[in-house]
Amino acid sequence: MGNPLAVVFDAEDLDDTQMQAIANWTNLAETTFVLPPSTREAHYRVRIFTTQREIAFAGHPSIGTAHAALAAGRVTPTAGALVQECQAGLLPVQVEEREGSTTLSVRVPRSRIVRYAGAEDELVRRCLVGRELGTIAPVLVEGGRRWWLAELADASEVRGMQPDIDAIRELAAQSHSLGLCVFARSAGPGHDLVVRAFPLGVGIIEDPASGAANAAIAAFLDEAGALAGLGDAYVVSQGREMARDAQLQLRIDADRHVWVGGQCQTVIRGQLHW
Amino acid sequence: MRLSRRFVQLDVFADRPGAGNPLAVVIDAEDIDPESMQTFANWTNLSETTFLLPPTSPEASYRVRIFTPQQELPFAGHPSVGSAHAAIDAGLAVPRDGHLVQECAAGLLPVRVDGEGAARRIFVRAPRGREVAVPVESRVWKDVLDGLRLGALPAVVIDNGPRWWLVELADEQTVRAMQPELEAIARLTEATGTVGLAVFAHTAHPDYQLVVRAYCPADGIPEDPVTGSANAAIADWLEQNNALRSRHYTASQGREIGRDGRVRVEVDDSGAVWIGGQTQTVVQGTLDW
């Protein structure tokens, strides 16, 4: 019901070319490779590849890799936390056991507002034609990668949106961003915010569950002083429009760091012969 | 309730892992309902996912259902080759005199098994391709073949289940260097109700005799790594034009997108086209769904 991820253990003897070839072959948004850490503070090291290139950090691959390392008994949390070493540095992963299920959260490098959409942003308007907007103007944010974020009036505006693929692709190219995320507050049940993400900048029409994009929304709401009604911890529903049903937990800690988390299911378990 | 089932992810038309076209196969699929099959096939994000079932016909060796991320298919080449590979390795089917019978939504289809172990090649007989007259305005062709040196045969639509536009190019170099005009190809295939455009050329290479590329941009697949149905359609078209240089040949496809597939093509005495190749088991494990 969520966002699939392929994780390869024992990746020490794979070179960069082989990792990229495997990630291209799985055809998933991301494939990760687990390696021994190169620093004593880290529990494991991970390299993250899309079908096209290696990336420094991404949310769902970090959570999924931590889940796989725990499920395989390869790591043991220290005081309820793991430290993941990746290209973006050392990132803490929190491990919470509640009612027999495990929720993993990763602290995401914080994104910042680049600028709000202005009169010159004709393309942003084109991407949102026919949608009733929320109270905050669409905004471009950056945290490693860029996203356009747009608040819509309510959950049905988000769920009913037919994305204009060509316009979003053009917007992504023009602004060197991944694309557009839309969101709206929602009365649930079971969630506080409804999100959809259209990363046409990397050739994906819609993403079923976006860790980094949701973290960018949380950081933006915090920076804009717009967390009223959500508080410092809230639950997101994403993916229903593409027949998934993901839940993501967002949290902003006392130091204003953003954490994104959720549960993982091991679907396929076996050996890779490459 | 979650059950553990045997699962493999294969590389079809590949003489080594990573060279071919991936396929997910769920081996013990008896009690999975069709909605769950479709959901899982959407989740794998591969061009096809298949489910192995006990046959309902006494003549069949095994039964398979084939799903893309969006729909069930009656038949497709690379899923059939891969499913037969998985059925044999899982002990669900035993070839008799090198033959199996696959039951699928398109009916009972003969499967041929050549050799054993890593060198084993599995062939399926493709549905007979026929030429379809498709009226097309020249402006729809605009930009599709700009600057490409063409081969001897005219462009044609062949229907062997899916409908393919086929265009012969002058030589291997022209095929390999082609920079596809994806928007123009999408316009062409949408305007003519075809699944994609395949280009091909004869070559004197020692390891393969034909080089092929296939584009399905309107279906969200800019370029397909290795395509059973397109290769079968090309063989039909060559046969109909007495342009086959050999009735048994190997096609190379996928190198331009980082793969290196090999499709073995055989045209039998009745004129039927068989496509086959080697399959690599890349992921072997269990599925909990």
Q: Which residues of B touch A267 (CB under 8 A)?
A: 43, 287-289
Contact B285 A268 (CB under 8 A): yes
The pLDDT value given to residue A110: 87
Q: Compute the distance between CA of residue B102 and CA of residue B110 in angstroms, rounded to an integer.
A: 6
Are B106 and B35 within one domain?
yes
H or E segment to which residue B112 belongs = strand B107-114
According to DSSP, the residues that pair with B166 across neighbouring strands are B156, B198
Q: What percent of chain A has pLDDT over 70?
A: 100
**Burial status of residue A240 (CB atoms within 10 A of its CB: 0-12, 13-18, 19 or more):** middle
Place of tokens 């062939």: B123
Disruptive mutation site among B26, B44, B187, B256 for chain A (greatest number of A CBs within 10 Å): B44
Tokens (6 digits) for A260: 């994104």
- In tens, the pLDDT along A152-163 reads 999 999 999 999
* Residues from A in contact with B at Cβ < 8 Å: 4, 21-22, 24-28, 205, 243, 265-274
Q: Enumerate the domain spans of chain A.
A: 6-109, 112-256
- In tens, the pLDDT along B131-178 reads 999 988 888 888 999 999 999 999 999 999 899 999 999 999 999 999
Are B143 and B205 within one domain?
yes
Tokens (6 digits) for B203: 């070559």
The pLDDT value given to residue A1: 80
Contact B287 A272 (CB under 8 A): no
Contact A26 B17 (CB under 8 A): no
Q: Compute the distance between CA of residue A85 and CA of residue A93 in angstroms, rounded to an integer.
A: 10
Cβ-Cβ pairs closer than 8 A, A with B, add up to 55
- In tens, the pLDDT along B221-249 reads 899 999 999 999 999 999 999 999 999 99
Q: Where are the beta strands (DSSP E) in chain A?
A: 6-8, 31-35, 44-49, 54-55, 81-86, 89-98, 101-108, 112-116, 139-143, 145-151, 180-185, 193-198, 233-238, 246-252, 258-262, 268-272
A6-109 in CATH: which number? 3.10.310.10
Contacts of residue B137, defined as CB under 8 A and 6 or more positions apart, other chains included, come to none
The pLDDT value given to residue A143: 86
Task: Return the amino acid letter for A71.
Answer: A
Are B165 and B139 within one domain?
yes
Decide if A208 contacts A241 (C-beta within 8 A).
Answer: no
Decide if B230 contacts B21 (C-beta within 8 A).
Answer: no
**Could you give the C-alpha distances from A171 to A177, B172, B279, in angstroms and in order?**
8, 38, 42
The pLDDT value given to residue B247: 97
To the nearest whole Å, the CA of A71 is away from the closest chain B CA by: 14
State the residue range of the domain holding B43.
Answer: 4-125+276-288
What is the average pLDDT score of chain A?
A: 94
Contacts of residue A28, defined as CB under 8 A and 6 or more positions apart, other chains included, come to A4, A5, A6, A51, B45
Judged against a pLDDT cut of 80, whether residue A62 lies above it is answered with yes
- In tens, the pLDDT along A77-116 reads 999 999 999 998 999 999 998 888 899 999 998 899 999 9
**Helix or strand or coil: residue A211?**
helix
- In tens, the pLDDT along B32-45 reads 999 999 999 999 99
Are B31 and B104 within one domain?
yes
Are B139 and B184 within one domain?
yes
Q: What percent of chain B has pLDDT over 90?
A: 89
The pLDDT value given to residue B2: 61
**Mean pLDDT, residues B183-187 taken together:** 94
- In tens, the pLDDT along A165-178 reads 999 999 999 999 99
Q: What percent of chain A has pLDDT over 90?
A: 88
Are B114 and B174 within one domain?
no
Are B102 and B197 within one domain?
no
The pLDDT value given to residue B1: 44
Are B107 and B139 within one domain?
no
Are B171 and B82 within one domain?
no
At residue B226, what are phi and psi to the nearest 5 degrees? -150, 130
Looking at domain A112-256, its CATH superfamily turns out to be Diaminopimelate Epimerase; Chain A, domain 1 (3.10.310.10)
- The complex's ipTM works out to 0.90
Judged against a pLDDT cut of 90, whether residue B214 lies above it is answered with yes
Are B146 and B197 within one domain?
yes
Judged against a pLDDT cut of 90, whether residue B118 lies above it is answered with no
Pairwise pLDDT comparison (B125 vs A203), residue with the higher score: B125
Q: Output the domain CATH number for residue B12.
A: 3.10.310.10
Q: How many domains does one find in chain B?
A: 2
Record the pTM: 0.91
The pairing of strands B21-26 and B4-12 is antiparallel
Are B72 and B196 within one domain?
no
Decide if A210 contacts A237 (C-beta within 8 A).
Answer: no
